[in-house]
Amino acid sequence: MAMTRQALPIVWLFCQLSACLSAVVPDVGSAVSISSRQALNAALEAGPNRRMGFLSEANFNTMAPVLSKKVVPVYFTDTEELYKAVTSEDVLAALISGVPNKTMFSAFSSDLVSPRSFQMMPGSTTNDLMHAVDAAVVRTHNGGDLLRVAEANPPFEVTEVHTCRSLEPAKVPFPIASTATGLLKDVLDKKRLRVLAYGTPADKPDWKQDGNYEVDPPVGFWPEYMAAFMKEFRAAYGNDIQLERVWMKAGGTDMVLNGSIHMTEPYYIYENLHNGTLKKWSHKFSCVVMGYEQQFFSKRRAKVITDAVTSDAQCAAALKTCEDKQLMNRITTREELNSKLESGGNVKMGFLSQANFLSVQSMLSTKVEPVIFLSKPQLYEAVVNGSLRAALISGVPDRTNFTVFSTDVISPRAFQTMPGDRSVDLLKALDAVIVRTHNAGELLAAATANPPFQAVEVHTCRADNPGAVPFPAASTATGLLKDVLDSKKLRVLASGTPDNYPNWGQDGNYKATPMTGFWPDYMEFFMTRFRAEYGIDIVLERVWQTGTAGTEMVLNGTVHMTEPYYIYETLYKDLPKKWSHEFSCVVMGYQQNFFALKPAMDFTAAGPTCDYQLAACQGNTAQINGTKPTTKQPLNSNVVFGLPSTTSAARSHQATFLLAGAVALAVEALLH
C-alpha cells in the first residue's frame, strides 16, 4: 500500500491499537519514491541527504538551474558506480544522459530539453533549402514518424519540440523545383543531398538504439528518422535524390558554413558553441526535429506487507493482489497510455477541440478514438466515471485525483523581433540576458513562486557559461538596441488592450498592481539584468495590442520585440513565423499534459483491519471519505472522492479542477 508521509502515523497507530496485520514497512530513508523534479527539490530542501550523483561537473552545471541551491553534487567515474550509489542511498538521486533502467529506478524528467535540428550556413543562399527541409520536417511530425521510429528502437524516448506548426503541412510548402536557388538548386542539379555525419569512414559510431552506423544499412532512431525525412524530400523533388553522408569528426562544421556540405545530420546539438560563441549566431537551423529530455532517477521503493496470523495473511495477500491490479491499471506515461490503447478495451480520449486532438495525434496510438467536449467539467466527469481512458488539457489538472503525465509535445516561447540587420544587436542583448536568467535558475524561481505553473527549460543557447554570450557594447550599439538606449525605453508587444488587461492566473495577472504571475515575475528578472548592463533608467513600456496590428509594429521596428510568451511555432499570414521573424534564445516551453483517473492506493480510511481495506479495494471506489466504519457494513460503491458521483456537489468539486488548465488555453487563443 503506497502511503503518503502524512498517512504513515495513522497506519502505525492502527498497528499499535488493533490487530493490524497488513501494514506498510518503509525502506530506510524516504518512505516514498521520488518521481518528479518538484519532489526531488522538496527532498533536497528538507534534507538530510542532499547529495546527487553526476558523471561530470559539466553534467551538473547543465542541470544546476533546475535544482535546489542546497544540492551537493558528487561525481562518479561510470554509470555502474552511479547506480550503486543510488541503490545504497549514498546519493538521493542522480542523472545520466539517456534513459536509466526503469525496472531498477524511479525515472523522471529534469524538465530540461536539448533540441536537435538540421544546421546550415547563414545567408540567402540557404533559404530555399531551409524551406524545403522545414517542409519535410513538418510532414514527418504530422505523419507520426517520430513516434513510429522511437517505438521501433526502445528504450529511445523522444520529446517533440515544435518550432514549426505541424497541424497543416500545406501551410509549410516546398519551394518549387524549377525556381530553386542556392543550395537547394545545387542539390537538385546534382541529385545529391550532402549531410555532415559525426565519425570517419573507418570509425563509424554505434550509439545503440540512437543509431548504429557500423552496419549497412544503419539502424536505430536517427538513421530510420532520416529514411522518413528522405521519403518526404524525394516525394517533392524526385526519387533519384541520393543521401550522401560526409563522415568527419573535425572540420565538418566549416564545410557546412561554406556550403560545400549542405547541412548537418539532425542529431547535432542546437545549443552548442562554435569557435567559442553561440551557434545561434553562426548557423541557420531548421524546424526543431525533436528534443532529448534528460532524466533524473532515484531509488524505487518496494512495499513489504507483514502477516502475523495465517487467516489474516490470506487477506493481506488478497489485498496486495488487488493493489497490484490497481497499479497495473494506473497510467503515468504516454508510453503506458499507448500500450493500454493498443491492448483494446476503452480507447476513447477526451479533448476540448479537434485542434487539441490534432496537436498530439502524432504521439498517440492510431487506435485512439477522440471525443470532443464542450467544457472542462464534462471532460473531468467523463474521466472520473470511466467513459474515457484519458484526456488532455493545457495546464496542470488536479494531481490529487488524476495521474498527470506529459504529452511529450512542447511549445517553446521566445522574444520575437523583426528580421534583418537592425535587430542583430538587440537580439544579442536579449540572448545574453536569457542565458544569465537560465544560469541563475530564475525560471525555477518564477515558477516556484506561482504554483501550479510549470516551465520546461528548452535550451537553444548554452547556459552553463554566460561569459560566452556577451552583451553588445552600448557605445557601438546599432539598430533597435541603439534606439532603446537613446530613448531609454524598451517597447514590447503585449497581448491585450489598455482598457482590458489579461488575467491568466498564475501565468500572469496584468490587472493587478503590481502585476503578478510567472511572466511578469520573469520580466522583472529580465529587466534587472538588462538594466544592470545598460542603465537603471531603462523603462519597460508594454504596447497593448490584439490581432495582427501589433505584429506589424514589431516587423517594422516601431515596437522593439514581443513579450516572451508569444508562440514560436504559430503562423503569420499562413506561413511559419520562423520564415518572417527573428527569435531570441528560447526562454521556456509549455508542456501539455494528459491525465487519467488515479486509482486508489490507500484504503486505510475504509477501516483499521484488512477485510475492510480489501472490500474497499475490490469495490474500486476509493472510499477516501475520512469515515472509518465501526461495524461491518456494505461499502457505498457510488462514492468517489467522498462525494456521490451523481450529485451537483460532485460536479462542483470537479469544477474546481479548472483554473490551471484554463490559463494556458486562454493564452494559446490570444497569441495565435
Residue type, 303: K
Q: Please classify residue 629 by burial: count the beta carbons closer than 10 Å to its beta carbon, then call 0-12 exposed, 13-18 middle and 19+ buried.
A: middle
In Å, what is the CA distance from 25 to each residue of 1, 303, 434, 508? 9, 6, 47, 44
Q: For residues 665 and 593, give the distance between their C-alpha atoms in angstroms, rounded to a whole number.
A: 12
Collapse the DSSP code of 99 into the 3-class scheme (helix H, G, I; strand E, B; otherwise coil) and give the result.
Answer: coil
Q: For residues 251 and 72, give the distance between their C-alpha atoms in angstroms, rounded to a whole number.
A: 38
pLDDT score of 672: 40
CA dihedral 412, 98, 406, 507 (to 10 degrees): -40
How crowded is residue 374: how many other Cβ atoms within 10 Å of its Cβ? 9
Q: Which residues on neighbouring strands pair with residue 119, listed in sequence order?
A: 285
Collapse the DSSP code of 393 into the 3-class scheme (helix H, G, I; strand E, B; otherwise coil) and give the result.
Answer: strand
Mode of pairing for the β-strands spanning 639-640 and 643-644: antiparallel
pLDDT score of 619: 67
In Å, what is the CA distance from 589 to each residue of 32, 401, 412? 29, 25, 4
How crowded is residue 7: how many other Cβ atoms within 10 Å of its Cβ? 16
Which segments of the chain have a pLDDT < 70? 1-32, 97-98, 301-311, 326-328, 394-396, 600-602, 605-606, 619-672
Q: What is the pLDDT of residues 483-511, one digit of tens each?
A: 999 999 999 999 999 999 999 989 999 99
pTM: 0.76
Instruction: Give me the residue spans of the domains in the chain.
Output: 118-286, 415-586
